[in-house]
Amino acid sequence: MEASYTPPQPIVGIAHSDLRLVCVRSTVTVIGLYGETIEVPCNNGAAKPEDLIFTKWKYKMDDGTSGDLLVKQAHKEQAQIQAMDGYKDRVTIAANSSLMIQGGSLVDQRTFTCMVVYGSNLDEHPVDVLVHTAFGLICYVVFCLFQLGVCTAADANPAAVIMWSKNGKLLVADGKTIIITPSVKMDPSTGLSTTTSGLQYTAVKSDVGAKFTCTAKHSLETQVSAPETFVIHYPTEKLSLQVLAKTPIREGDNVTLKCNADGNPPPTSFYFSIKGQKVTVKDSDTFTLTAVTRNSTGDYKCSLVDDDKMEASEKVVVSYLDLSLSPTGKVLKMVRDTLLVKMEQDASGDAKVSWTKDNRKLDETPRFDNVTYADAGFYVCEVSVAGIKRSQSFQLVVEGTPVIKKMTEHHSEDGRHKVLTCEAEGVPRPSVQWSINGTNEENSYINGKATHKITVVPTGNLTITCIATNKLGNHFMRVDSVFAGALFDMLFLFVGAQDDSSDQALLIVFIVVGLIIAAALVGLFYWLYIMKSRRGTWKTGEKEAGTSEESKKLEECKAKV
């Protein structure tokens, strides 16, 4: 016994396949093989009219309109190719006026029409073309019951029994979607039987990739044929629109719209609705929006050319961000001026705003109702939304005439000198000068504040002046009797230097204090004397000046002191 899958049998003049279409159509149907030359007969191969003028072939395009392929004048040997698309290099006309299509493919499954013009007549002969693969029928599942194959078990006794399976599961004939036609023939000369079984099958979507086998069962053995698959074509039932772009989509980006159909084969042309305008795309399932703007935001749709009611839509959102800052660049203000900072932003979503000053984050938008030197710095405003960042900045420069805030003095570490300090505010940086010479000068300038220190040796009571100057003006401050206690300072310095005898040091202190008290008493006595003399003058009208004898006594007192 031998089990085998019967190879395709020829259908005369058209294509090689044993998968015969059972559907009834209103026009002539031609079946061609995938990858082979498809011959489409004109008027079913009838003879040409004697008064033929020309023969023209055209086809039905995806959008339903008619497209020209070629025209052959009766008195010319060569045909004129009129096709401008993919058929330009694939179509020719045979001597019997048949259309020859090279390299048959799924896109050739359409209606071709042969137009014959003769005498005063014009006849059109439409032909539907189907394309088959080697082991399957390309057919819409809702229409077709087709011959899947024939299985033969030859030279068996008793006759073998043939069964059909799909994906290992036994198929049972129902007379509608599954029809199994068995037959047994006996060879009279040998007495051996040959069993043949044909399978007609109506495919469904789920049969894509299904494996069919036939099994020949005999009392002695069982044989199973090699599995076979077939191509199933079904119409599109659902569309989806896919947006191909980096997210977020920003102004200037290119956005590709891809229309996906679940039919097999998928449609080759689509309608794309772009901002309410319908655009036809042929031989492609994509449409690209170039350099999109914020105005490109909206709903986009795609639909089938032959059924525009079946559509899919998707929303495209273009992110954008505009930032306006006032002021920008370098801003010069005088101290205690007012500066208004205004920031405006227009964004596609909720924007995040942040401020920094000299690379340090600020908690809020800067306000300058009364500008100070400490406000000077580099300010940056940064706004972000959906992956987009914008920033603008300004440099605030605060200037003012110098103002001396204070003058101070203190002893040096060794106790023998005085350290004078003058603090002044001003921009540009003020220069500081003193009315007294000093040593060990120290300078610093931070946030518009200049500090200048000098070291001096106490020599007596003085009036010290500090002068701060810049291009805008100057300011000075005086301190009178800075060294009023210089005598005491020198005294205690002297006492501090006497390490041999504390009693001696204490004696010196008493002497000095006594001299000071004596001088004070002399001064008080002199003042009382003058006051008494003046009272006498007011009464007598004498001059305010004292007698020569009194003047002499006063000079003697001063000398003793």
Q: pLDDT tens across 43-102, in order? A: 888 889 999 999 999 999 888 899 999 999 999 989 999 998 889 889 999 999 999 999
Bridge pairing between strands 178-186 and 91-93? unpaired
Strands 249-250, 318-319: pairing kind:
parallel
Q: Give the tens place of pLDDT for each residue, 250-283.
A: 999 999 999 999 888 888 889 999 988 999 998 8
- Average pLDDT, integer, range 172-195: 90
Q: What is the DSSP string of 64-120?
A: S-EEEEEEEETT-SSPEE---STTTTTEEE-TTS-EEESS--GGG-SEEEEEEEETT
Which amino acid appears at position 248 of this protein? P
d(CA 416, CA 481): 18
323: pLDDT strictly greater than 90: yes
The pLDDT tens digits for 103-159 are: 888 788 899 999 999 988 999 999 988 876 543 333 444 446 677 778 888 888 899
506 CB-near residues (< 8 Å, 6+ apart): none
In this structure, the dihedral spanned by the alpha carbons of residues 170, 172, 173 and 178, taken in order and rounded to 10 degrees, is -60
Q: What is the pLDDT of residue 276?
A: 84
CA distance 391 to 355: 10
Is residue 354 scored above 80 in pLDDT?
yes
Of the chain, the end-to-end C-alpha distance in Å amounts to: 159
8 A C-beta contact, residue 201 and residue 177 = yes
Q: Residue 35 — left, alpha, or beta (φ > 0 → left; ψ -120 to 50 → alpha)?
A: left
pLDDT score of 365 more than 50: yes
Query: Can you give the pLDDT at residue 541?
Result: 40
| pLDDT-derived band at 249, boundaries 50, 70, 90 | very high
Q: What's the pLDDT tens digit per position in 371-417?
A: 999 999 999 999 999 889 999 999 999 999 999 999 988 888 877 88
pLDDT at 495: 42
**3-state SS of 189-221?**
CCCCEEEEEEEEECCCHHHCCCCEEEEEECCCC
Write 72-81 long-range contacts (CB < 8 A, 24+): 72/97, 74/48
3 state SS of 46: coil
Mean pLDDT taken over the chain:
81
For residues 429 and 442, is the Cβ–Cβ distance under 8 A?
no
* Inter-CA distances, 287 with 268, 368, 432, Å: 13, 53, 74
Which tens digits make up the pLDDT trace of 276-322?
Answer: 899 999 889 999 999 999 999 999 999 998 888 899 999 999 999 99
- Give 215-236 pLDDT, tens digit per residue: 999 888 899 988 888 777 788 8
Question: Which residue has 């749709």 as its token pair?
Answer: 301
- Kindly report whether the global pTM for this prediction surpasses the value 0.85: no
For range 15-29, the mean pLDDT: 37
Buried/exposed 41-55: b ≥16 CB within 10 Å, e otherwise: bbbeeeeebeebebb
Report residue 6's pLDDT band, with 50, 70 and 90 as the boundaries: very low
3-state secondary structure of 135: coil
**Does the pLDDT of residue 489 top 70, yes or no?**
no
Q: Which residues contact 299 (CB under 8 A, 6 or more apart)?
A: 313, 314, 315, 316
Model confidence band, residue 534 (pLDDT cutoffs 50, 70, 90): low
Does 369 have pLDDT greater than 50?
Answer: yes
Sign of CA dihedral 396, 401, 407, 412: positive
Residue 44 gets the label, from left (phi > 0), alpha (psi -120 to 50) or beta, of left
Q: Give CA separation, 341 vs 362, 368, 381, 391, 396, in Å.
A: 14, 8, 11, 15, 11
Characterize the bridge pairing of strands 146-156 and 193-201: antiparallel
